[in-house]
Structure formats: structure tokens, C-alpha cells
Chains A and B, each alone.
Chain A
């Protein structure tokens, strides 16, 4: 496998940065090389945020921002628009939290040359965590759709990063999204 770059889109408080880290932790745990980092700036609850993950079989030397991601992951449906698909490679993948159809998502992103994976992560988060914190649910969809990291390693990484009393609910959110994601 060669370098894969992932860009995460969410709003402050939804856990996009944590999701980017969990992915890197899982990849590293699996013996791969990875980087995870937030978009460095001022963080505010509710404001759009970006985070990034790089994964490779070889050591990663590059230290630039991510300009042409292979994958984007969208935690907040209200962010859907052509702007968040900027730079996404042809045949790239968009993993999206939405109750809309794959066709509608592609239209909103303004791209028909990409794959989309959709899951209603908000619904899953509300049913498992009882709160609209969607990062672990979208991770389940990301794992299934990307095939980059193994579910077991992601579950282990989730356990290490979420508050102890929410572990079971978060693991359930990952598993449910893993099952429910639709790839088109």
C-alpha cells in the first residue's frame, strides 16, 4: 500500500480530531505508519473543523497539509457542499453522515467521479450514546468503506480514547455503523 491521505470534516465538539487520532492509533497498532493532526488554529464549539490522517506501509516523511485527499469523511450533514470535496482525488471516497441517498450526496458535493459511503451516524449516536457525538459511528462506516484498518484495532483504539463510562456505547456505535453503511 502507498500513502493514503484522509481529511475529516466536522464541527467543533463532534469529535473529528479524535476520529483522526483513533484511525492513526489503530493503524500504528496494526503495524502501519501513520500521522494524525488537527487543522492548527483556534477551536470553537460548533465551528467547522478539519482534521487529517495519513497512513502508509512505509515511514511517512511529508509534513505538509493535506491538499489532495484520497478520502474525505464528513461528520456533519450541514457541511455538505462542493467546498468540502475540494482536492478529493478522482475515484476518491467520501464517507458521509447523512439520511440522504448516495445520489443526493454526490449532487451536493458536485462530484460524480467519486465513491460515496453513507450512514445515518447521528441516528446511531443518539440511539447508542444518547448524544449527537457522531465520531465513533462515522468511524465504523469509514472502516468498512475504506478497508484501510481492521475493525478490531479500531475498537481497541476507541477504548483507549473515549471516557471509560461511554466505552460500551461507543463500541456499539462503531459496530452498528460498520453494519449499516451503504457504499455506492
Chain B
């Protein structure tokens, strides 16, 4: 039997703990709220000898990501944490990490972007990473964050994938919340993710070049291979989750369905608010509304088939997005994916209502989401859905 120890951890600490238990070799991090406690905890692990890793002190997030590219390119298991402006500053290098097919893993405590300056949580930072070629998990609890960091290494390092991965959690409303986490012995974690270098690395005895020019005769094929790797990652992520469940007793799927069996309308939520939405679904059900919830766990690659299947019998779906998409037909990163799933056969599509919420950590109450469920029910009964995003909790 696998040994588990229950600890009281914030999601920041759970993520750091998972990196320690994954026996990472190199960490390069630059502190930024609200991810700083995770970076500090990792430094503590290295300093007190709990983790035998190189902790590279860098002068910026751009340098942190660059140091990890170097580390991963020589075969190190590489990890960092960041947020907000820090993630955006890293992003130039993250495209490169993906193009070089380096399995770096990042914890991101999602936070708003300036201006105006906001240290508070939302998902404006992760949203632009959508097309960067990174696997992106959204998690909803400290436990899921811990488990997903470990799973992320499994998927990123799989020879069918070889892509960097992000485990994204909500700034403050997860990063700074203490809750129970069952942590696994490192020995058992490493049975799940053995330290084996499966990707091409730099080696003075067998010299190769990486990151060279891709002229018009080659670049296209490189990008296509990244897309193939992304497509493979759907299956690999599913396998990784099933194997994790078999070994450790906890599995999440790529999406998690709640009360969807007889649901006539559904909400799609991700991150912390998927938890509040779950409570709201129970309350709305008490009032006779047949609403279900789909928690989106894997955003990239997008679990298109899983979602389409889950939404098969639903007439209206409301997507609760956590970032604005300024100037787009709908405000939110995920709603656009949901709409485009049905582009080749719109007859299969439920009606889609787009919601923006929790922007700059505006608090979302249970009642707010019960009201969404009721509104979806009205849409199902024929009320016209506005041809734009509905902003929850906004003062107009």
C-alpha cells in the first residue's frame, strides 16, 4: 500500500511539495505575488537538504525561463513558479521551450495583469498562453494541484508529447488558502514518474545543435509536429490520470462531470470557481432546475471529444470565463473553444451563453451562480441569449 501523509497546505505549498516529491533537478525562480511563497518554500527545501536540486537565482522571469531551457536541454527535470507579469515576461521563452520540445513544468498562481495594477487573482495572465504550445491544467483544490504537478511531469516527458506544461491555480483564493493535502512518498512518486531522460539533450560526447534556423522549407513541419504532440497529449494525459488513480487512488479525468446525468442545462467552470459552482448546482437543483456542471481540468490540449460527449443532451451551456478577451465577439478564452468545437456541424451544438466573472478577484457568491443556473434555464425555455458576454458582478 502506498504511504500517504495528510498535511495542511496552501496550494502554493502543495505545488512546491509536489515539485520536491518529483525530485526536480533545477529550479530557477523570480518572486512575484501571489506565487512567491511557493518559490520561497522550494528555496527552503533546497537549503535544508530535503531536495537535492540546483536553485538558480535569476534577475527576472525571462532569465528564469531561459535558465530552465538550458537545464532541460541537458536532461534536468526543471521547474518554476510564477504569476501575472512574470508569466507574460516568461512567455517569449516559453514558446521556445515548446518549440525545442523541452518538458519543463511550471506552477502558475494566476493573477490579473496591469494596468490598473492588481495583485489579485484572475486569469488574464494564463489566457494569452493559449496558443504557446504548452499543456495547461486548471486545478480547483490544493490536492488537485499537488497531484497535477506530478501528472504534468508524466505527460510532458512522455515521448509522444515532449512539451512543457503548466499547472494553473487561482491567485490568493487558492494560492493562499490552507486546506488538507495527502502527500505521497517521493519513492512512490518516482515509481510513477521515473527519472528517465526521454528527450533529445545536449551532450558533449555526442554533439548536436538545438534551436537552429527553421527556414521556410522546414518551419511549417516543426509547428505541425508540435500540434501532433498536442493531439497525442489528450490521450497521454488521460492515461497518466488513470495510472495515477490506480497507484494513488485519486483521479480527475480531463473534465469532471457533476450532476450531468439528467441535466438539461450546464455550466462549464474551471479553477477555484468550479468549486463554488458545484455548491450552486446543488442549490439550483433544490429549486427544481436541472443544471449540471462540467469542470474543465485540461485546457490545452482541449478535450474536445470528452466535452462534446458530456454536452450531448444539454440544450444550453453557460461558460464561466475568468479573463476578458478584449475586442473579441465573446469575452473569455474558453467560450471561444466551446463554440468552435461545433464549427463543422452546428446542428450538434447546444446554445452557448458566455459569462465573465471574478475579474480582478471580484468575489463571486453562490447566489450569483444560482442566478446563472436560473438564467440558463430561461434560455432553455426560449428566452433570447444576448449576442455578447454577460458580465457577472459588474457595476455598469
Interface residues of chain A, those whose CB is within 8 Å of chain B, are 21, 24-25, 28-29, 33-38, 40, 60-65, 67
Contacts and interface: CB of A to CB of B under 8 A. Distances in A.
Contacts of B272: 63
Contacts of B176: 37-38, 40
Most buried by A among B8, B121, B176, B179: B8
B202 interface: no
B14 to A, nearest CB: 13
Contact of A36 (B172, B174, B178): B178
Given A64-B364, A64-B366, A67-B365, A37 B177 contact: yes
Nearest to B272: A63
A133 to B, nearest CB: 20
A139 B120 CA distance: 29
A33 B179 CA distance: 7
A40 B366 contact: no
Nearest to B363: A65
A28 B120 CA distance: 27
A40 B10 CA distance: 14
A26 B353 CA distance: 43
Nearest to B282: A61
A63 B179 CA distance: 12
A37 B170 CA distance: 13
B178 A35 contact: yes
A99 B89 CA distance: 54
B276 A61 contact: yes
B279 interface: yes
Main secondary structure of the interface of B (DSSP, over half): mixed
A34 B8 contact: yes
Contacts of A25: 8, 178
Interface residues of B, number: 25
Nearest to B368: A64
B8 A28 contact: yes
17 contacts: A25-B178, A33-B180, A34-B178, A35-B178, A35-B179, A36-B8, A36-B177, A37-B172, A37-B173, A37-B178, A38-B176, A40-B173, A40-B361, A60-B275, A62-B275, A65-B363, A67-B365
Contacts of B273: 63
B276 A34 contact: no
A28 B177 CA distance: 13
A50 to B, nearest CB: 13
Interface string B365-392: 1100000000000000000000000000
A62 B180 contact: no
A135 to B, nearest CB: 15
Contact of A28 (B121, B180, B275, B363): B180
B365 A60 contact: no
B6 interface: yes
B179 A24 contact: yes
A18 to B, nearest CB: 11
A34 B120 contact: no
B275 A61 contact: yes
A37 B121 CA distance: 14
Interface in B159-210: 170, 172-174, 176-180
Contact of A34 (B170, B179, B365, B366): B179
Interface in B1-21: 6-8
A45 B170 CA distance: 26
A21 B179 CA distance: 9
Nearest to B358: A63
In the A-B complex, the 5 residue pairs with the closest CB atoms? A61-B275, A40-B172, A63-B272, A36-B178, A25-B8
A63 B178 contact: no
Interface in B202-235: none
Contacts of A67: 365
B179 to A, nearest CB: 5
Nearest to A36: B178
Interface string B272-316: 110110110000000000000000000000000000000000000
A61 B279 CA distance: 7
Contacts of B275: 60-63
A60 B172 CA distance: 17
Contacts of A38: 176
Contact of B278 (A35, A61, A65): A61
Given A40-B172, A62-B279, A29 B8 contact: yes
Given A34-B8, A61-B279, 14 more contacts: A24-B179, A25-B178, A28-B6, A29-B6, A29-B8, A34-B178, A36-B177, A36-B179, A40-B172, A40-B173, A61-B278, A62-B275, A63-B273, A63-B275
Contact of B178 (A21, A61, A64, A65): A21
Nearest to A40: B172
A65 to B, nearest CB: 5
